[in-house]
C-alpha cells in the first residue's frame, strides 16, 4: 500500500520510539515534565521566540493563539483557504467568538497587501474591531517567501495589529527556501517568523512525530496561552512521552524534508509526462507542479470516480475534492509525500496512472 492521503499518516521511526521510551516524565500541567520543558525551550530557541507551549494538535494551537490574541467580538483577517478559517470546524467563531474576515488568494497563494489593508475596519462601533492578521505557510503546498511574510508583519504592526502564522508545514517552507538560496533551513524558518507575534508548528506532519504541535510567542503571550490550553482541554499530564518524539523530530527530521520534496517533484513530473503521452487525456487531466511535498492532480469529473477506484484497487490512497476549473467540474486529487513514502511508492503511483 502507498498512502499519499497526508503527511499526518507517518509512524514513528525506531529511533523516535526509543526516544519516547527513554523520556524522563513529570506532570506538565504543573509544569514539571522535563521532556516537555526541553521541547518547548529548544523550539523557542530554534525559531527565535521567548517561549513555547506544547499542545495535542495544530487545530488547538491555532485556536489557542486566536483566543489569546483576540477578545470576544474582535476580528481576524484570514485567507479563504486558510486552515484556521476553512478546516478547523469554525472554532474561532464557535468557541472564541472571534469574527473571521476571509480574503481571496492570489495565484501564488498569498494575500495581497492592499486587500489586507482594505479589510482593516475603522474604529467604529458598527464593526467588529480588527485585531489580528493570520498567515499560513506553506499554503496548499505553496511557499510564501520570507520577504513577503515580513511585509505582512510590517503592515500589521504599522496598523497596530497582531500577527500569527499557521506554520503547520513551516519547515517545508523553510527547506524549500533554503534549497533555492543555498541557506540553512532552520535559519530560513526563523526568517519567516521574524516580526510575528506567534506561530503554530505541527510536529505530526512531515516531521513525523505521532502527536502534537507547538505554539510559540513571548513569555507573556505563552503564559496567557497556557490558560487557554487548559480551558480547551489541552492540558496533558505525563506528556513527555509525546514531547520526546517532537524533540527527536526537530533534531533529526527537518533536513530530510528535502527527500519528500524531491519525491513530490518526481511524482508531479511523472503525472505530467503520463498525461502528455496519452492524447485522449488532453483537457481531462492536469498535473500541477510541486513546490514542497504536495501535488495536485485535476481530473475531469466524468472519469474521476473510475480513476479513484482504479487507484484504490492498486493500494494507492489519496484524497480528493470536487471543484470547478475553467467552468467545468473536476476532482482535485491531492498527493502528499512524507516519511513513509519513498521513490518506489512514487514509481508505483505513476505506473498505476499510466495503466488507467
The answer, yes or no, to whether residue 281 has pLDDT greater than 90, is no
Asked whether the beta carbons of 167 and 161 are under 8 A apart, the reply is no
Q: Please state, in angstroms and rounded to a whole number, the distance separating the CA atoms of residues 328 and 330.
A: 6
- State the maximum Cα–Cα separation within the chain, in Å, rounded to a whole number: 64
Confidence tier at 296 by pLDDT (50, 70, 90): very high
**DSSP string spanning 106-161?**
PTTS---HHHHHHHSPPS-TTSPEEEEEEEESSBTTBPPPHHHHHHHHHHHHHTT-
Sorted by where each starts, the structural domains of the chain and their CATH numbers stand as 2-252 (3.40.640.10), 257-355 (3.90.1150.10)
Question: What is the pLDDT at residue 181?
Answer: 86
Backbone angles phi, psi at 123, to 5 degrees: -75, 85
Q: What is the mean pLDDT of residues 170-174?
A: 98
Confidence tier at 232 by pLDDT (50, 70, 90): very high
Q: What is the mean pLDDT of residues 155-176?
A: 98
Bridge partners, 146 (sequence order): none
pTM metric for this prediction: 0.96
Cβ neighbour number for residue 64 with a 10 Å cutoff? 28
Confidence tier at 283 by pLDDT (50, 70, 90): confident
**DSSP string spanning 77-106?**
EEETT-HHHHSSTTHHHHTT-PEEEEEPPP
Amino acid at each position: 500500500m502507498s498512502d499519499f492521503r497526508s503527511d499526518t499518516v507517518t509512524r514513528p521511526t525506531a529511533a523516535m520510539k526509543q526516544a519516547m521510551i527513554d523520556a524522563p516524565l513529570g506532570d506538565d500541567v504543573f509544569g514539571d515534565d522535563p521532556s516537555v520543558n526541553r521541547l518547548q525551550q529548544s523550539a523557542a530557541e530554534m525559531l527565535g521566540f521567548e517561549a513555547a507551549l506544547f499542545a495535542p494538535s495544530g487545530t488547538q494551537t491555532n485556536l489557542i493563539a486566536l483566543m489569546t490574541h483576540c477578545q470576544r467580538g474582535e476580528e481576524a483577517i484570514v485567507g479563504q483557504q486558510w486552515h484556521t478559517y476553512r478546516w478547523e470546524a469554525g472554532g474561532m467563531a464557535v468557541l472564541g467568538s472571534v469574527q473571521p474576515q476571509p480574503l481571496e488568494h492570489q495565484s501564488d497563494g498569498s494575500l495581497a497587501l492592499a486587500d489586507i489593508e482594505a479589510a482593516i475596519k475603522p474604529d467604529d462601533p458598527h464593526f467588529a474591531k480588527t485585531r489580528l492578521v493570520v498567515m499560513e505557510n506553506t499554503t496548499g503546498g505553496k511557499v510564501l517567501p520570507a520577504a513577503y511574510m515580513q511585509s505582512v508583519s510590517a503592515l500589521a504592526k504599522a496598523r497596530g495589529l497582531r500577527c500569527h502564522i499557521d506554520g503547520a508545514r513551516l519547515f517545508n517552507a523553510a527547506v524549500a527556501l533554503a534549497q533555492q538560496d543555498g541557506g540553512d533551513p532552520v535559519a530560513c524558518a526563523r526568517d519567516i517568523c521574524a516580526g510575528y507575534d506567534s506561530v503554530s508548528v505541527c510536529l505530526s506532519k512531515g516531521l513525523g512525530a505521532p502527536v502534537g504541535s507547538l505554539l510559540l510567542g513571548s513569555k507573556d503571550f505563552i503564559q496567557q496561552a497556557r490558560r487557554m490550553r487548559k480551558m480547551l482541554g489541552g492540558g496533558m499530564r505525563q506528556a513527555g512521552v509525546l514531547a520526546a518524539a517532537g524533540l527527536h523530530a526537530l533534531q533529526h527530521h527537518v533536513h530530510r524534508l528535502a527527500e519528500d520534496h524531491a519525491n513530490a517533484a518526481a511524482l508531479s513530473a511523472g503525472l505530467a509526462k503520463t498525461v502528455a503521452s496519452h492524447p485522449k487525456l488532453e483537457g481531462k487531466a492536469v498535473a500541477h507542479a510541486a513546490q514542497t511535498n504536495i501535488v495536485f492532480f485535476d481530473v475531469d469529473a466524468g472519469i474521476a470516480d473510475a480513476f479513484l477506484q482504479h487507484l484504490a484497487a492498486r493500494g494507492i490512497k489519496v484524497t480528493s475534492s470536487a471543484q470547478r476549473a475553467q467552468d467545468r467540474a473536476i476532482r482535485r486529487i491531492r498527493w502528499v509525500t512524507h516519511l513513509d513514502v519513498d521513490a518506489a511508492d512514487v514509481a508505483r503511483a505513476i505506473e498505476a496512472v499510466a495503466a488507467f
